[in-house]
Amino acid sequence: MATTTLNRICLIVAFLGLFALCHAQSSVIPTVKSLFESRAFKNAKILLASVNSEKKEYSEALYYMGRIAVEEKKYELSIEKFESAIKVNPRNAEYHNWLGVMYGVIALDAGKIKQTYLAPKIKNEFEKAAEIDPTNIPTQWGLLTYYSKAPFFLGGSWDKAFACAAVIKKYDKAQGIRAYAHVHAGHGEIALAEKEYQEAINMEPSNYDHVFAMAEFYKERTEFGKSILLYEGVLIKNPGNMVAAFHVGAVSALSGLQTEKAIKCLTDYLTYTPRPNEPGHCDANLELGMIYEKKGDQASAKKYYRSSLQLYPGLKEAQQGLARLN
Collapsing DSSP to helix, strand or coil, 92 comes out as coil
Q: How far apart are CA 183 and CA 217, in angstroms?
A: 11
Q: What is the pLDDT of residue 100?
A: 97
List the chain residues with pLDDT less than 50: 1-25
| pLDDT confidence of residue 234 | 98
Pick the CATH number of 213-326 from 1.10.10.10, 3.10.129.10, 3.10.450.50, 1.25.40.10: 1.25.40.10
pLDDT of 203 reads 98
The closest alpha carbon to 32, from 16, 51, 13, belongs to 51
Domain ranges for the chain, please list them. 164-205, 213-326
**Cα–Cα distance for residue pair 268/159, rounded to 1 Å:** 43
Q: Give dist(CA 189, CA 163) in Å, integer.
A: 17
The model's pLDDT over 126-139, given as tens digits with 9 standing for 90+, comes to 999 999 999 999 99
- Write down the mean pLDDT value for the chain: 92
Question: Quick one: pLDDT at residue 5?
Answer: 43
Confidence (pLDDT) at 26: 62
Q: What three-state secondary structure class fits 276?
A: coil
pLDDT of residue 256: 96
For the chain, give the longest Cα–Cα distance: 69
pTM across the whole model: 0.86
Cα 52 to chain center, whole Å? 28
What is the model's pLDDT at position 15? Answer: 41
